[in-house]
Amino acid sequence: MASSKTKRSTADSSTLAPHDPAHVASALHFRAFTLFAESPDTVRAARDMARSTVQDWGLEALLDDVRLVVSELVGNVVHHAIPDQRLARPGAPRRIDVTLRMWPKWLFVGVADEDSSGPTFPIGEGFSPYLTDGLPEAVLPDSGRGLLIINRLADAVWWVPGEDGGKTIYCRFDLGTPG
């Protein structure tokens, strides 16, 4: 799915600290929802809620990109996250928190889970299909393909360990100049 936006440079995303409560309060719009990894429709529900939020905030140009990013990140939690020992409760579902925050210049998407293991971000650029001599399997990494897509769609991607365990992966989408 091709991204319809162009990449622009902006302020250093690390100074924005979207997880900081002071920044949450200053956001123009904020929406959060909690899902559970064991529900059979978790990923679909996350996509639908992200779509509804993006439409409500008038960001239709980002609709496909945000839905795909949320789908990939939530799907990663469903398939890969193992709760930290201190967060795990026998028989309890695995919690996934999704947040969307909009400022005049940025949209932040955050997906938090109970596993403090960092994501495996792909390193470097993908290989050109013209260099493989018809062997596409030779250029596909064993893991991290979803995060490679996310890196292409979002303007910035990073993760933050949780204070009590777990982690949050953030994606920043640049909105351009308001007006």
- Region 31-36: mean pLDDT is 96
Local confidence band at 126 (pLDDT 50, 70, 90 cut-offs): low
* 11, pLDDT greater than 50: no
Local confidence band at 113 (pLDDT 50, 70, 90 cut-offs): very high
Name residue 99's beta-bridge partners.
32, 110
* Dihedral of alpha carbons 179, 14, 34, 148, sign: positive
Token pair of 99, please?
């947040």
Residues 6+ apart with CB under 8 A from 147: 72, 76, 119, 120, 121, 122, 157
Structural domains of the chain in order of their starting residue, each with its CATH number? 30-174 (3.30.565.10)
More confidently predicted of 25 and 79 = 79
What does the alpha-carbon distance between residue 156 and residue 171 come to, in Å, rounded to a whole number? 6
* 6, pLDDT greater than 60: no
Residues of the chain with pLDDT > 90: what percent? 55
Check residue 173 and give its pLDDT: 98
Q: Could you tell me where the beta strands, DSSP code E, fall in the chain? A: 29-36, 95-102, 106-113, 156-161, 167-174
Pick the closest to residue 106 from 2, 13, 1, 4 (CA basis). Answer: 13
- pLDDT tens digits along 141-171: 555 678 889 999 999 999 999 998 999 999 9
- Region 121-144: mean pLDDT is 57
* 111, pLDDT greater than 60: yes
What does the alpha-carbon distance between residue 59 and residue 102 come to, in Å, rounded to a whole number? 10
What does the alpha-carbon distance between residue 72 and residue 157 come to, in Å, rounded to a whole number? 13
User: Is there a contact between 159 and 167 (Cβ–Cβ < 8 Å)?
Assistant: yes
- pLDDT tens digits along 61-105: 999 999 999 999 999 999 988 888 877 788 789 999 999 999 999
Check residue 74 and give its pLDDT: 97
More confidently predicted of 53 and 90 = 53
Q: What is the mean pLDDT of the chain?
A: 81
Pick the closest to residue 116 from 169, 172, 69 (CA basis). Answer: 169
**Residue 5 Cα distances to 113, 151, 165, angstroms:** 28, 14, 34
What does the alpha-carbon distance between residue 145 and residue 143 come to, in Å, rounded to a whole number? 6
- Region 131-145: mean pLDDT is 58
- Region 46-57: mean pLDDT is 97
